[in-house]
Chain A
Amino acid sequence: MRGLTIQLIGPLTILAGIVWAVAQPYRIVFFDPDRSRGFYDYVFQPPLLVVAVGLIYALVLAPGLVEDLEGRSDGPSR
């Protein structure tokens, strides 16, 4: 159960970002490119940042946590 919870945190965070992007599509400049907008307007938008955090969690933190939780990593600490 704890392993499943850890595995779900990342995807749920990503889902929250996607739902936010759908609810407020004007925040995603990629959907409506505008030459007057700068780099930050394209990249530093909350829904994209939430998706990025979820991705980092799901790809970097969650796999090792689940592995350690299931006791598959019995070697010395790394």
Chain B
Amino acid sequence: MAPRAEMAHWLAASVALMLGLVLLSEVIVGTEVFRRRRWRAYLWPSLAIVSGVLIWLIAILSTFSTIHLVAHAIWAEVAMIAGAVELAVVRGKLSSPRWSLAVAGALFVSGVSFLVHEQNPWLYSRAAFLHHAIGWMLVVATLFPLGRAFKPQRAALWGTGFALTFVLLAVMLYADRDAGSIFGHFGEIAGP
């Protein structure tokens, strides 16, 4: 038996929560201390790339409509691109703070993808509400890597915002249900 879609979303939430805590830790202890052990430096890029691989698997095996297939494929692609760029930054192959624009682009495209592929209005169902909320949250969160690219001297501010974006994303994904009401509303034909 394959896990239901909501379970895949809860697993994605767990990866996002771990990612958020890892990024928050780096802000708290500082990049120098955080990267004192090499494996920790590779955590965030690795998690992004592995997330991309797992989303590809979901796109291939568990999406049942073209629009969902395209959306998951886009998330997989941008996660892998962002992870690859961050890996090159950690390795020292790329040094300009402008490379944060790759992460900014990934967040923006992910957010737009959430918004575009949700066909129903906000209060149609809990899943529809979360698609809109996550989409707009990711679009707004683009500001954090943008800030890191153009105002790198405020790294702590942008880093905190970026880390909390993933914690908030985790909370929203954990709240997902295949069929669930939102504020008492539930579309007549909503559900899996």
**Shortest Cβ gap from B57 to chain A (Å):** 16
B29 pairs with A57, CB closer than 8 A: no
Q: Could you give, for residues 51-77 of chain A, a 1 whenever the CB lies within 8 Å of some chain B CB and a 0 otherwise? A: 011001100011011001100010001
Q: What count of chain A residues pass the 8 Å CB interface test?
A: 26
Quick check: is B14 within 8 A (CB to CB) of the other chain? yes
By beta carbon, the residue of chain A nearest B10 is A46
Quick check: is A33 within 8 A (CB to CB) of the other chain? no
Interface residues in B13-45 (C-beta closer than 8 Å to A): 13-14, 17-18, 21-22, 24-25, 28-29, 33-40
B33 pairs with A53, CB closer than 8 A: no
A2 pairs with B40, CB closer than 8 A: no
A44 pairs with B11, CB closer than 8 A: yes
Q: Please classify how large the interface on chain B is, using the bins under 10, 10 to 19, 20 to 34, 35 or more.
A: 20 to 34
Q: Could you give, for residues 8-49 of chain A, a 1 whenever the CB lies within 8 Å of some chain B CB and a 0 otherwise? A: 010001000000000000000000000000111000111001
Which residues of the partner chain A approach B38 to less than 8 Å between Cβ atoms? 77-78
B28 pairs with A6, CB closer than 8 A: yes
CA distance A64 to B38 in the complex (A): 12
Given known contacts A40-B4, A65-B29, is B10 in contact with A45 (CB within 8 Å)?
Answer: yes
Quick check: is B7 within 8 A (CB to CB) of the other chain? yes
Q: Could you give, for residues 43-64 of chain B, a 1 whenever the CB lies within 8 Å of some chain A CB and a 0 otherwise? A: 0000000000000000000000
B36 pairs with A73, CB closer than 8 A: yes
Given known contacts A61-B40, A73-B36, is B21 in contact with A13 (CB within 8 Å)?
Answer: yes
Residue positions of B touching A, CB distance < 8 A: 1, 3-4, 7, 10-11, 13-14, 17-18, 21-22, 24-25, 28-29, 33-40, 174
- 30 CB contacts below 8 A, A to B, read A2-B29, A5-B28, A9-B25, A13-B21, A38-B1, A44-B7, A44-B10, A46-B174, A49-B10, A49-B11, A49-B13, A49-B14, A50-B174, A53-B18, A57-B21, A61-B21, A61-B22, A61-B25, A61-B40, A64-B37, A65-B25, A65-B29, A65-B33, A65-B34, A65-B40, A68-B29, A68-B36, A68-B37, A73-B37, A78-B39
Residue positions of A touching B, CB distance < 8 A: 2, 5-6, 9, 13, 38-40, 44-46, 49-50, 52-53, 56-57, 61-62, 64-65, 68-69, 73, 77-78
Apart from A49-B11, A53-B17, list 20 A-B contacts with CB within 8 A. A2-B28, A13-B21, A40-B4, A40-B7, A44-B7, A44-B11, A45-B10, A46-B13, A46-B174, A57-B21, A61-B22, A61-B40, A62-B25, A64-B40, A65-B40, A68-B29, A68-B37, A69-B29, A77-B35, A77-B38
